[in-house]
């Protein structure tokens, strides 16, 4: 089924073709026509499923057919997201696709970690607002924005918003929204909390479930190196150099370790940067775009960053340290093997990790290929 059958206008079809999207992903096939018909959506889907375009495209399409300008500072679309990175990514998607229409719809991403004043000024004339909950409430209490004219509410990665402790803020925001509106809820999992939001906020939604993880895992080659803690640094350098890796995402469990790993790589002449919650927004955005542009060879990240990072065809992910839950493991390695390209996931397994990694493999239903790191000569690394 091609994109042209989904009810989108020629301007968007041109944009889609230029983005080199040849066929719609499953979630897009279902969500786009339903959203255009005004239906609420409950999408159980991960990053990588194409969920962003599944709501960005029909929202932009609907706006082309609306002639009434909104009252200043009364946004028509509100997209709530858990992280700054995701806010920026979604804003980019609205801008990329929105550019193909003769009449531009002004959109803006607002998030914490940067000064609020420029955001207050920029909110003039904004119709589509992408926001993290905390910053949105600050802007509302400063009267920089009103939600009373919202026609479409999108909750993206709603489960992550709840995990990050945004529940109370979300409830406050929901109370400020008009009752008559379209609501699109996306979540990687269907928890009790998500079900409650569904019951209270959505009206007869179309439920779309995309089991993206399973498809992805088949595309990912998983290797595990048995290695003692103190040899992880040299092993990492060995793998990067020996395998000629040009773009690799490394995961650690703590902010401190992320900085340390990046530091060590740089000292050894491998261009690396770390990205985590303790870094300023500017530094995070810059590191991510340098990495995307191929100007940084290694990006070292903590789990908080695992979901939002949207990079096409990331060839390799390395777990310098294992995550606690099998779910996080899948999210991490899901950064590779996306958009139908295959990828490689490498994990460092210390003797203490063996048991935990067995559980991860069992839960995931896949077995990694083991390599004994002790047999590799790491002296020159």
Query: What are the residues binding ligand AMP (CB under 6 A)?
Result: 21, 24-25, 28, 47-53, 310, 312, 339
- Cite the beta strand spans of 325-375 per DSSP E: 343-349, 369-372
Which residue is closest to ligand AMP by CB? Answer: 52
Shortest distance in whole angstroms from residue 50 CB to ligand AMP: 3
Shortest distance in whole angstroms from residue 331 CB to ligand AMP: 12
Shortest distance in whole angstroms from residue 96 CB to ligand AMP: 9
- Residues 116 and 143: beta-carbon distance below 8 Å: no
Shortest distance in whole angstroms from residue 19 CB to ligand AMP: 6
Shortest distance in whole angstroms from residue 306 CB to ligand AMP: 13
| Token representation of residue 342 | 């295959």
Phi/psi at 355 (nearest 5 deg)? -65, -45
- Residues 42 and 10: beta-carbon distance below 8 Å: no
Strand partners, 343: 220
Longest dimension (CA), the chain: 69
Comparing CB distances to ligand AMP, the nearer of 90 and 272 is 90
Whole-angstrom Cα distance, residue 95 to residue 93? 5
Which residues have CB under 8 Å from 256's CB, separation 6+?
Answer: none
Which residues have CB under 8 Å from 191's CB, separation 6+?
Answer: 159, 162
Comparing CB distances to ligand AMP, the nearer of 48 and 82 is 48
Comparing CB distances to ligand AMP, the nearer of 23 and 374 is 23
């Amino acid at each position: 089924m091609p994109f042209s059958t989904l009810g989108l206008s020629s301007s968007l079809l041109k944009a889609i073709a230029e983005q080199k999207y040849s066929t719609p992903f499953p979630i897009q096939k279902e969500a786009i026509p339903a959203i255009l018909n005004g239906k609420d959506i409950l999408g159980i889907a991960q990053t990588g499923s194409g969920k962003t375009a599944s709501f960005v495209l029909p929202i932009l399409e609907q706006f082309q057919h609306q002639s009434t300008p909104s009252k200043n500072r009364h946004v028509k679309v509100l997209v709530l997201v858990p992280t700054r990175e995701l806010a920026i990514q979604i804003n980019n998607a609205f801008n990329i696709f929105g550019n193909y229409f003769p009449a531009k719809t002004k959109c803006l991403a607002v998030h914490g970690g940067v000064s609020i004043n420029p955001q207050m000024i920029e909110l003039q004339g904004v119709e589509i607002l992408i926001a993290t909950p905390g910053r949105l409430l600050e802007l509302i209490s400063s009267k920089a924005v009103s939600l009373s004219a919202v026609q479409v509410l999108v909750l993206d990665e709603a489960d992550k918003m709840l995990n990050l402790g945004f529940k109370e803020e979300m409830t406050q925001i929901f109370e400020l929204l008009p009752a008559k509106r379209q609501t699109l809820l996306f979540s990687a999992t269907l928890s009790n909390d998500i079900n409650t939001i569904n019951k209270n906020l959505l009206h007869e939604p179309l439920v779309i479930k995309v089991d993206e993880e399973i498809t992805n895992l088949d595309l990912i080659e998983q290797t595990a190196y048995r290695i003692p803690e103190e040899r992880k640094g040299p092993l990492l350098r060995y793998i990067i150099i020996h395998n000629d890796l040009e773009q690799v995402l490394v995961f650690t469990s703590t902010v401190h370790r992320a900085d340390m790993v990046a530091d060590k790589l740089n000292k050894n002449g491998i261009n690396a940067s770390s990205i985590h919650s303790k870094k300023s927004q500017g530094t995070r955005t810059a590191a991510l775009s340098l990495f995307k542009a191929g100007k940084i060879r290694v990006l070292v990240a903590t789990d908080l960053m695992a979901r939002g990072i949207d990079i096409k065809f990331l060839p390799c992910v390395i777990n310098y340290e294992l995550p606690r839950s099998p779910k996080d493991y899948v999210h991490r390695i899901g950064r590779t093997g996306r958009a139908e390209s295959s990828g490689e996931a490498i994990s460092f397994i210390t003797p203490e990790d063996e048991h935990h990694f067995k559980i991860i493999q069992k839960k995931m239903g896949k077995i990694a290929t083991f390599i004994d790191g002790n047999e590799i000569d790491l002296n020159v690394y």
